[in-house]
């Protein structure tokens, strides 16, 4: 259905995320991948989805000379807890501390998606609340040592072992926690 709608467009996904690639394939979207490195720095006064909106647009700004048929899709995901963005960890200790901070609490996951063409730009975002049970240190170390979630916002993958044993409630889009609100992406692409 979506493939037919998009057949005359060139969809460019500017993401190195294997999960986003998988979502696009599973949704039947014909796309190419083009990733341009940018420094993901945002003004410190931004909060929640303002951060992901800003970074998603910043990623799009690295592209110029889009053709009439090109639709560039950029995205950014953050984890938000205790009124601050949880940055990607730098090492195993930071990853442990990060997951430990989620133990027995709720945090939010924000993802923004920006659609850019030669003639327009639109950004959407989605929010999901995630609750973890109390996690033991052994469970956290088992997860980090066996699943090595070192490319993920919040240092965990909801679709992995830690999600199976640790997440007690999700309010909002499950796929958003994996890095892409697929229902919103579908709606926007169908409305192009």
- Supply the residues annotated as catalytic: 76
- Residue 83 phi, psi (nearest 5): 60, 30
Beta strand segments in the chain, E? 10-13, 31-33, 70-81, 84-86, 106-116, 121-132, 167-171
Tokens at 92, concatenated: 């195993």
Distance CA 51, CA 44 (A): 9
Distance CA 168, CA 91 (A): 27
Within a 13 Å sphere around the CA of 105, how many CA atoms are in the beta-carbon half? 11
DSSP secondary-structure letter at 42? -
Widest pairwise Cα distance in the chain: 54
């Amino acid at each position: 259905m979506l493939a037919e709608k998009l057949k005359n467009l060139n969809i460019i996904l500017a993401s190195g995320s294997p999960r986003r690639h998988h979502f696009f394939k599973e949704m039947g979207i014909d796309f190419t991948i083009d990733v341009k490195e940018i420094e993901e720095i945002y003004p410190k006064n931004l909060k929640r989805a303002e951060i992901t909106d800003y970074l998603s647009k910043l990623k799009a700004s690295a592209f110029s000379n889009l053709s009439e048929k090109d639709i560039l899709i950029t995205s950014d995901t953050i984890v938000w807890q205790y009124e601050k963005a949880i940055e990607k960890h730098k090492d195993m200790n930071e990853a442990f501390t990060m997951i430990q901070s989620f133990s027995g609490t709720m945090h939010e996951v924000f993802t923004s998606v920006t659609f850019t063409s030669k003639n327009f730009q639109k950004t959407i975002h989605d929010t999901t609340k995630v609750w973890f049970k109390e996690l033991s240190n052994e469970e956290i170390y088992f997860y980090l040592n066996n699943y090595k979630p070192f490319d993920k916002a919040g240092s965990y993958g909801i679709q992995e072992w830690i999600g199976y044993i640790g997440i007690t409630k999700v309010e909002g889009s499950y796929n958003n926690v994996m890095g892409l609100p697929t229902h919103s992406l579908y709606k926007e692409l169908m409305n192009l």
